[in-house]
Amino acid sequence: MQDKYSFFTPKATGLLPLAAEHTPLHTTIDLCSCAKEVMDYVQKLEKDQIIKMLHTPNKKGHLPIHLVDDLRLDSREKEKIYQLLLPYMKPALPSLSTPVDFKTISHQYEILSDSPLYQPLKIACLLVNQIRQTAFLSSTHPDMTGKDAEDVELLHREIKDYRNEADRAKYEYLYTCEDVTYHQDIREDDDYGHITAHFKPSVRDAVLQTYAEIPLSTKRANCTELSDIFVYLLNKMNLKDIRIEIFSIENGDHTLVVLNRDPKSDPGQFKTWGSRALVVDVWAGKIYPAASIPEQLSNYCSMDVTVDKKTNHHIFILPFIPAYHTLVLDTDVSLLEDTVSFRLTPDSFVGRFIKNLNLPEQELFLFHSYIKPLLKELIARRKLEAYELAELEYPVATLVYAFLDPYYLKKLTHRDVYLKDIEDKHIIDEAPHPLDSEVQWPQSSNETTETTFCVQSLTGQ
């Protein structure tokens, strides 16, 4: 998406101060007793004022339209407000299959053939267009706005499941690969310890390939997956003079690629990235110098809206607001390592349980980087009983033993074993153990809080 697609014109990009809890439109909607009050207020505004306020989040990250559902109004009054506001929020991104144009971009940003941006831009355009030739379905792209909410939700879960499959493959590979070594960094005065997995370029390349091949084969991808595909294709070109990084937006929901950021710069301050830094946003169809982030970077959010008893999904494209959003470095492709942090004095049952097991670094890395976040997600998605994480006892013990073995890791995440039934250890007991190792199970859930378990190493070491 270049200027001709930009939703916000230069005149409309001035941001409302975020020191207040709400914009005036937030306040009007929050306090209204009927739809007419909102209509009367909106009619007094210029179009660019309406657009600006509708796309400005409050301190809680809510847009004005997000407040409508919680109003104590009947459904018809809420529908009137939605029908008033939604026409001003139509996203103006090109289709996911629309190509980018190298000549247009280089002319727009005055990138000449002797510029350090010229060659990276040319390569980025070629790869973005190669990706956009695939007919991807994206649950977050404006291509899906106005579609049936249930259909979009199914697609979103499908993409999420494929992402989980890629995560599982990554950590299973790191766990079993001989070209990975682990180093634990623990200092007595620190609250957190760190474990770093160090690996060879071939391991890094295999992981990048995993994250790209799954969305390419399924033709399902959101911004993260599209960025992964771009990174994989660019890394495969083995260009030594291009630095590749993946960033996300904190307080937002978007992922993008950054090329050639100054390594001495602050990742969270794009103004320090240097004149060679180039942003590649495959999802939005935008490529531009990092200096243009305030005008060009988009953020994504969405919601379901019910009108006339039909619920449709609506996607909104928001501006990047430096006072509210922060760019966070997720992946530096040049680094041949992956680090995870964990509390040295855990305050949850899970943390204490793992600490008592005294696991080797390899298994600690697997748990803290993959198993623990997955447990939290499973609880949030009600795939486990809706207990607090600190109250999970026997099911956690079962999951820990299972996840520490790559075979069962694969079984669980491929749904051969239903996670909702994981409390019954016989589901796992009756499955043949590929390494013929014997696991000592706790006799009851109460014992797990006081007993330190002796576990035979599942790696055979």
Range of lowest pLDDT (240-254, 279-293, 350-364, 371-385): 371-385
Strands (E), 308-356: 310-319, 326-332, 337-343
> Do 277 and 204 share a domain, yes or no?
yes
Alpha carbon distance 441, 439 (integer Å)? 6
Q: What is the pLDDT of residues 277-332, one digit of tens each?
A: 999 999 999 999 999 999 999 888 999 999 999 999 999 998 888 888 899 999 99
Domain-ending residue, one of 298, 323, 341: 341
Q: What is the mean pLDDT of residues 270-282?
A: 97
pLDDT band at residue 415 using 50, 70 and 90 as cut-offs: very low
Whether the model clears a pTM of 0.95, i.e. scores above it, the answer is no
Residues 39 and 175 in one domain: no
Print the domain residue range for 140. Answer: 102-341
395 φ/ψ angles, rounded to the nearest 5 degrees:
-60, -40
State the Cα–Cα distance between residues 73 and 167, nearest whole angstrom: 43
Whether 456 is covered by a domain: the verdict is no
Residue 326 CA to residue 317 CA, distance in Å, equals: 17
In a domain, 437, yes or no: no
Split at pLDDT 50, 70, 90, the class of 46 is very high
Pairing between strand 244-250 and 326-332?
A: antiparallel
Same domain, 228 and 321: yes
pLDDT value for 244: 97
Q: Has residue 43 got a pLDDT over 60? A: yes
pLDDT of residue 146: 93
Examine the pLDDT at 22 and tell me if it is beyond 80. Answer: no
Is the same domain home to 145 and 267? yes
Q: Are residues 333 and 351 in the same domain?
A: no
Name the residue among 229, 203, 230, 202 with its Cα closest to residue 214.
229
Q: Distance between CA 25 and CA 38 in Å, rounded? A: 8
pLDDT in tens, 68-98: 999 999 999 999 999 999 999 988 888 999 9
Q: Alpha-carbon distance 125 to 117, whole Å?
A: 12
- pLDDT confidence of residue 452: 31
Is residue 106 situated within a structural domain? yes
Angle of helix 149-176 relative to helix 201-218, nearest 10 degrees? 160
| Domain termination site, one of 312, 341, 370 | 341
In the prediction, which pLDDT does 328 show?
Answer: 95
Residue 69 shares a structural domain with residue 122: no
- How much is the average pLDDT of 211-216? 96
Is position 452 within any domain?
no
Instruction: Please check whether residue 354 lies inside any domain of the structure.
Output: yes
Question: Of the candidates 341, 361, 380, which is a domain's last residue?
Answer: 341
Q: How far apart are CA 306 and CA 68, in angstroms?
A: 11
- pLDDT value of residue 92: 81
Average pLDDT value over all residues in the chain: 80
What local confidence, expressed as pLDDT, does residue 66 receive? 94
Residue whose entry in the numeric block shows the structure tokens 């790696």: 459
Q: Which of 331-335, 375-379, 402-406 shows the lowest mean pLDDT across its residues?
A: 402-406
Convert the pLDDT of each residue in 130-163 to its tens digit: 999 999 999 999 999 999 999 999 999 999 989 9
Residues 175 and 259 in one domain: yes
CA distance 56 to 200: 44
Identify the three-state secondary structure at position 158: helix
Total of domains in the chain: 3
Whether residue 46 is contained in a domain is answered as yes
Tokens describing residue 405: 């073995």
Angle at 186 (CA atoms; ends 185, 187), nearest 5 degrees: 125
Together in a domain, 74 and 120: no
- 231 domain residue, yes or no: yes
250 shares a domain with 187: yes
Segment holding 197, helix H or strand E: strand 192-199
Alpha-carbon Rg of the chain, whole angstroms?
25
Same-domain check for residues 403 and 329: no
Are 306 and 351 in a shared domain?
Answer: no
Same domain, 181 and 311: yes
Q: What percent of the chain has pLDDT over 70?
A: 75
Q: Taking residues 215-227, what's their average pLDDT?
A: 97
Q: Domain for residue 460, yes or no?
A: no
Say if residues 313 and 147 touch (Cβ distance below 8 Å): yes
